[in-house]
Amino acid sequence: MMNNDTLHTIILSRSKRKRRYFTTVLILIVIALALCCAMLMLGNTIYPVNEVIAVLLGEEVKGASFAVGTLRLPRMLAGLLAGFAFGVGGYIFQTMLRNPLANPNVIGITAGSSAAAVFCIVVLQASNTVISFAAVVGGLLTVAIIYGFSKGTSFSIGRLILIGIGIQAMLNALISYFMLIAKTHDLPTALRWVSGSLNGATIETVLPLFILLVISTPIFIYLSSHLEMLELCEQAATSLGVSTNRVRIMLLVSAVLIIALATATTGPIAFISFLAGPIARRIVGVGFSALIPSGLIGVILVLAADLIGQFAFETRFPVGVITGIIGAPYLIFLLIKMNRKGSI
């Protein structure tokens, strides 16, 4: 039996962790909103907040209506939605498979989407609708192949990661071949699917991703407690009443869908799904799911990287180049750390 002092200490500790969690989420939301405002205000012409708000409310403002409403707003929405999708999807993969390397970038899911899209651009000369659909199908097909090869007599997380890395290398080689045979006028479009970029985003292209996230986010929140149990171990989750196979399939399919559709919207923005989860876990602390914070971190990373790519250098760089520069050193650090622990 716990005495009153011990019970009081536990309640205070729980309350403190809860305040930390909600304070962290609130701060992340404020930072994300500030970056959204910066995306709408900044450019060749800087528009004040009142003009931006007027455009968002549907008013006609000379100059600002086109720059903000037609160019900057879709770009900002693409970064916001794709960042959230990559962040949440990466966190689900890393948590469910209990390995920080098990994310869509490393195991080849985004490469599958990109390869399908580049094939449609270079070989089929397909429309944007067909390209986006092919990117989603490519991501789903890639994860099915990886899962099928890694299953064997029993499911192995390590085997899945190694097979995923191998398939990613094959798909990247295939993408390089398509780029070599591409016609000159197809290269700019194809490059977007290789590096990841918010250029050319429109309301029509971001709408499917918005609808999917509206549908899937409540599902993720509902299943987040089960996801944390899956991280413990299979036996512990089953003993706590979790239908592990059903939950894993629901999470896996939903995560692959949002990752594939995000890739179809912006291209494979490098390392967002890899970085968002670990950062969110560190700042949230123990006791609460880092699912939503991971999505918010993804938003912050994408929007901040795009602003850096647009304005920090004389040449404008796609967002995927900036996130690649940030993420590659962390991947090397993580591999060295895991090797020292004997995890790989």
Transcribe 189-224 into DSSP letters.
Answer: HHHHHHH---TT--HHHHHHHHHHHHHHHHHHHHHH
Within-domain flag for 166 = yes
Domain count, the chain: 1
- Kindly state the tokens that stand for 290: 């880092």
- What's the chain's Rg over C-alpha atoms? 21
pLDDT band of 75, cuts 50, 70, 90: very high
Q: Is the pLDDT of residue 154 over 90?
A: no
Of 224, 292, 327, which Cα lies nearest the Cα of 22?
A: 292
User: 111-115, 127-131, 163-167 — which is least confidently predicted?
Assistant: 127-131
Q: Is the pLDDT of residue 39 over 60?
A: yes
- Kindly state the tokens that stand for 148: 């099928």
pLDDT of residue 33: 96
pLDDT band of 241, cuts 50, 70, 90: low
Q: What is the mean pLDDT of residues 76-99?
A: 90
Residue linked to tokens 């994408």: 302
pLDDT band of 12, cuts 50, 70, 90: low
Within-domain flag for 28 = yes
Q: What is the mean pLDDT of residues 248-268?
A: 86
Within-domain flag for 10 = no
Q: Is the pLDDT of residue 87 over 90?
A: yes
pLDDT band of 35, cuts 50, 70, 90: very high
Q: Is the pLDDT of residue 126 over 90?
A: no
pLDDT band of 59, cuts 50, 70, 90: confident
CATH of residue 204's domain is 1.10.3470.10
Q: Is the pLDDT of residue 294 over 90?
A: yes
The residue among 233 and 189 whose pLDDT is bigger is 189
Within-domain flag for 177 = yes
pLDDT of residue 7: 58
pLDDT of residue 111: 86
Q: What is the mean pLDDT of residues 177-188?
A: 84
- Kindly state the tokens that stand for 84: 């959230």
How confident is the model over 274-283, as pLDDT tens digits? 889 889 988 8
% pLDDT > 90, the chain? 21
pLDDT of residue 79: 95
Of 81, 69, 114, 95, which Cα lies nearest the Cα of 302?
A: 81
Q: What is the mean pLDDT of residues 64-87?
A: 93
pLDDT of residue 193: 74
State the average pLDDT for the chain.
83
The residue among 340 and 25 whose pLDDT is bigger is 25
Within-domain flag for 2 = no
Within-domain flag for 5 = no
| Helix residue spans in the chain (DSSP H) | 4-41, 49-56, 64, 73-96, 109-119, 128-151, 157-181, 187-195, 203-232, 234-239, 244-266, 272-284, 291-311, 319-341
Which residues make Cβ contacts (< 8 Å) with residue 244, sequence separation at least 6?
230, 234, 237, 238
The residue among 34 and 205 whose pLDDT is bigger is 34
Domain that holds residue 295: 19-341
Q: What is the mean pLDDT of residues 2-17?
A: 64
The residue among 245 and 23 whose pLDDT is bigger is 23
Q: How many angstroms separate the first and last alpha carbons of the chain? A: 43
Within-domain flag for 13 = no
pLDDT of residue 219: 87
Within-domain flag for 307 = yes
Q: Is the pLDDT of residue 131 over 70?
A: yes
pLDDT band of 299, cuts 50, 70, 90: very high
